[in-house]
Amino acid sequence: MELSTLWLFIAPPVVGGIIGYFTNDIAIRMLFRPYKPYYIGDRRLPFTPGLIPRNQERLAKRISDTIMGSLLTPEELQNLARRLLQTERVQGALLWLLKLALDQVQEDKQKRTAKVVGNILQDLLGQSLPRLLKVLARREDFLETQLNQIFDQILLEFQLTDEQATKLADWLLEVVLPPDTIRQTLIDFLTDRNIQTIDEGFREKTSGTYWVIANLFGTRNALTRLRTFCLDEREVCNEQITELMVSLNVRARLREWLHNLSLQNLPVSTVRQLRKTLRDTVRTYIQAQGAEFLQEFGKSVDWENLASVLLSRLRNSAVMNESLETVSLELALILERYLEQDLEKIVAQVIPILSIDQVIIDRVKATSPADLEAAINGIVKSELQAIVNLGGILGFIIGLLQSASLLLR
């Protein structure tokens, strides 16, 4: 067979394979290239830019609709939110935030946190609490349980020890009722009018031997002389009063009386009345002066310094550090219960706010054709190369069929 005849049968499959291979390769490249349009005069050349760059905006819209319509549906977003907001993850996030806040407080060198906490405490105790107490004090049962508990457990069972009774008796006799005070009290009491009243009452109400003494001698002269003695003989009178108190054993009697003093020795009705009186007195005081007292008290407190002390205590508190996990768990459980009820509503409100579809469109539009080509080639490079190879194979097969046809003829 001559060479020309042999080439007539070989050329069709070779040429067909080459054309099929390079045609598919060019077609695939024309999907992306050229990246920008070319013009001759005012006329844009056909097929410039490539198919995808020319329709990139429409492609972005189709990608966004596909993702939002079949992938990121509200149900899928809810499932995604449930997976992200599992109790363990939420607890870990809250624990991290709490520790971060505690570290921030520890590193607060400008005392901004102390100022904020101080202002909060000042507003709470100086403004909010007085108004709240004024309203609550109008209720009949305001602090009833607490005051009754204080009365029953403290006041009712309170009793001085022997040492306390001794010191209190000594203080009363040495500071409150010394001999000079008693003498001055007698002088103030024994006025002319009081002396006359005592004398007349003694004459009218006595009988027997006392009536004879009262009417013959009377008490006016004796009481007058006692007052004169207290006025003129100050030192002697004080000594006499001291000796009288020693002889009457006043100190021991007073100590014993104070030691035995207890509300439990009173009748039950009296105790109940005292408890009710205490409760009414406290409520009345709070209604009338409680708010003003708290406001004045709040003005006298250095709240910033108090807040600094509290924050310093919190920083070094082992209980605070140990309780962070418990607090974070409780907050996570509360958030989980809330999300179980309103997750659907939250997701429905979040989707428009996030504008995921617009984000996808903007992102695709902002991607350059070269980057878009590289991204697609990175995903389906082997598949695109298979298409190119398939084009070459098909061209080669068609060429073989043509050679076979020529051979048969």
C-alpha 289/C-alpha 284 separation (Å) is 8
Residues 194 and 241 in one domain: yes
In-domain check, residue 223:
yes
Is the same domain home to 166 and 260? yes
Is the same domain home to 83 and 101? yes
Is residue 165 domain-shared with residue 48, that is, in the same domain?
no
Judge whether 197 and 178 are in contact, CB under 8 Å. Answer: no
Q: Is residue 84 part of a domain?
A: yes
Asked if 80 and 191 sit in the same domain, the reply is no
Q: In terms of domains, do 291 and 228 share one?
A: yes
Q: What is the pLDDT of residue 223?
A: 83
Residues 183, 77 share a domain: no
pLDDT of residue 76: 73
Peptide bond just before 267 cis, omega within 30 deg: no
Closest CA to 75 of 340, 348, 353: 348
How many folded domains does the chain comprise?
3
* Separation between Cα atoms, residue 223 and residue 195, nearest integer Å: 7
Same domain, 217 and 241: yes
> How many Cα neighbours within 13 Å face the side chain of 298?
19
Alpha-carbon distance of 57 to 157, in angstroms, equals 87
Say if 103 falls within a structural domain: yes
Q: Give the distance between the most distant pair of CA atoms in the chain.
A: 186
Give yes or no: residues 28 and 102 share one domain: no
* Residue where one domain finishes, among candidates 67, 93, 125: 67
User: Do the domain assignments include residue 261?
Assistant: yes
Same domain for 237 and 292, yes or no, is yes
**pLDDT recorded at residue 108:** 55
What gap in Å lies between CA 377 and CA 19, rounded to an integer?
22
Our measurement of the distance from residue 95's CA atom to the centroid of its chain's CA atoms, rounded to an integer in Å, reads 14
CA distance 259 to 167: 11
pTM of the entire structure? 0.41
For 27, the domain range is 18-67
Is-contact 134 327, C-beta < 8 A? no
Residue 157: inside a domain, yes or no?
Answer: yes
Q: Do both 188 and 224 map to the same domain? A: yes
Task: Say if 354 falls within a structural domain.
Answer: no
**Residue 282 tokens, joined:** 């406290």
Assess if residue 58 is contained within a domain.
Answer: yes
Domain co-membership, 62 together with 164? no
Q: Is residue 211 part of a domain?
A: yes
Q: Per-residue pLDDT for the chain (409 aa), expressed as one digit of tens each?
A: 566 677 777 887 888 888 887 887 777 777 777 778 878 877 887 777 777 777 778 878 887 777 777 766 777 777 777 776 677 777 777 777 777 766 666 555 546 666 776 777 777 776 777 777 777 777 777 777 887 888 777 777 778 888 888 898 888 888 888 889 888 998 888 888 888 888 787 777 777 666 666 666 667 788 888 888 888 888 888 888 888 888 888 888 888 888 888 777 778 788 888 888 888 888 787 777 777 777 777 777 777 777 777 766 666 666 666 677 777 777 777 777 776 666 667 767 776 776 777 787 788 777 777 777 777 767 666 776 777 778 888 888 888 888 788 777 7
